């Protein structure tokens, strides 16, 4: 079972324009609304791949009710803790040249009692056949060690964890040694306080340092340059696929979803990594933050080239 945890979900409002005129009039050509937030994006992609997932986290107000209705329409079970205030709406402005400007609201505040309610809910789901995906930012009122706390709690019940976060959330989460992490290029550099832009060889070395800490899989997304999939037994590098890009928003979430789906199917790393490359490439071609259709993913899988890394 795959449980996604979205602490700070949102209604994603994606608008397409021509060229952004700062301080001037911008006419919107198209508007797309999606239930969003990194964990929810993972759930949607897992569902599109044919998997089963439960979406959890915090929801508030009318926007939260809209998200629950959207998830129901996607065929995804929602089991959120409801809090006061209003779930945020995030606007993503996509220019015709592919540039994306994001305007994200802060979201509601969450109390300690509500946080404890969510943790108890997650513990009730936790067992050896459960993977928790902890992804994205957290709202006001929640400590930055929340992913560490959750990881320790569900580990005690035998569950596994995939973390997709940055900054202090990632730093503290790694203290609990989750099974999988999915940092991007910049997040990995930031975590290790790297003084310059790392090249491919250096990224591999940094990823392997995560393995030395006990992490089972470090998947490092590198945008159009591709990705690294570093496991204890096997390690792979994959170049990016050539696709017509609409927006890069959600590509990393799609890769995390593929890894979660592969875990649930008990796939070897090579198969999960290939799916991750195809799904993330497909995600950049869709409107809004929608996942790619399974048919598109199957076509993109034919283009994936994995190279085993042996020189580490």
- pLDDT band, residue 250 (cuts 50/70/90): confident
Q: pLDDT tens-digit profile of 172-227?
A: 999 999 999 999 988 999 999 887 788 889 999 999 999 999 999 999 998 888 99
- Output DSSP code: residue 21: -
Spatial separation of the C-alpha atoms in residues 1 and 15, rounded to whole Å: 34
H or E element that contains 217:
strand 217-221
Spatial separation of the C-alpha atoms in residues 192 and 209, rounded to whole Å: 9
Spatial separation of the C-alpha atoms in residues 274 and 286, rounded to whole Å: 19
Smallest Cα–Cα separation from 167: which of 133, 137, 197? 137
248 pLDDT more than 80: no
3-state secondary structure of 145: coil
255 pLDDT more than 80: yes
pTM greater than 0.85 (yes/no): yes
Q: In angstroms, what CA-CA distances link 22 with 25, 26, 150, 236, 275? A: 8, 9, 42, 42, 39
**Considering the chain, what is the average pLDDT of its residues?**
92
Residues 6+ apart with CB under 8 A from 191: 170, 171, 174, 183, 206
pLDDT score at 224: 84
Spatial separation of the C-alpha atoms in residues 163 and 55, rounded to whole Å: 15
Active site residue 253: yes
Query: Helix 38-49 vs helix 269-283: angle between axes, to the nearest 10 degrees?
Result: 110
Spatial separation of the C-alpha atoms in residues 171 and 156, rounded to whole Å: 20
3-state secondary structure of 171: helix
Which of 79, 253, 264, 311 is catalytic? The answer is: 253
List beta partners, residue 89.
11
Mean pLDDT to the nearest integer, 259-268: 97
- pLDDT band, residue 289 (cuts 50/70/90): confident
Six token digits for residue 111: 């109390």
Q: pLDDT tens-digit profile of 56-111?
A: 999 999 999 999 999 999 999 999 999 999 999 999 898 888 888 989 888 899 99
Phi, psi of 96 (to 5 degrees): -65, -20
């Amino acid at each position: 079972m795959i449980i996604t945890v979205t602490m700070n979900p949102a209604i994603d409002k994606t608008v397409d324009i021509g060229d952004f005129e700062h301080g001037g009039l911008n006419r919107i050509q198209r508007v797309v609304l999606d239930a969003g937030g990194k964990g929810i994006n993972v759930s949607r992609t897992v569902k599109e791949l044919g998997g089963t997932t439960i979406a959890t986290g915090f929801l508030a107000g009318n926007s939260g009710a809209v998200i629950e209705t959207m998830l129901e329409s996607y065929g995804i079970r929602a089991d959120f803790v409801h809090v006061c205030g209003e779930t945020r709406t995030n606007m993503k402005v996509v220019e015709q040249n592919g540039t994306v400007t994001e305007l994200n609201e802060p979201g509601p505040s969450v109390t300690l009692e509500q946080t404890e309610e969510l943790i108890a809910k997650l513990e009730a789901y936790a067992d050896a056949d459960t993977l928790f995906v902890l992804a994205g930012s957290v709202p006001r009122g929640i400590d930055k060690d929340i992913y560490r706390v959750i990881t320790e709690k569900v580990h005690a019940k035998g569950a596994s964890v995939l973390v997709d976060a940055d900054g202090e959330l990632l730093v503290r989460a790694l203290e609990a040694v989750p099974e999988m992490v999915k940092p991007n290029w910049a997040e990995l550099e930031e975590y290790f306080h790297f003084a310059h832009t790392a090249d491919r060889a250096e990224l591999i070395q940094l990823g392997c340092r995560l393995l030395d800490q006990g992490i089972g899989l470090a998947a490092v997304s590198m945008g159009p340059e591709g990705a690294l999939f570093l496991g204890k037994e096997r390690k792979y590098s994959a170049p990016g696929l050539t696709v017509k890009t609409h927006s890069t928003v959600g590509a990393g979430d799609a890769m995390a979803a593929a890894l979660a789906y592969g875990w649930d199917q008990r796939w070897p790393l090579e198969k999960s990594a290939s799916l991750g490359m195809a799904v993330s490439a497909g995600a950049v071609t869709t409107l809004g933050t929608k996942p790619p259709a399974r048919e598109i993913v199957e076509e993109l899988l034919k283009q994936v080239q994995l190279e085993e890394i042996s020189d580490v």
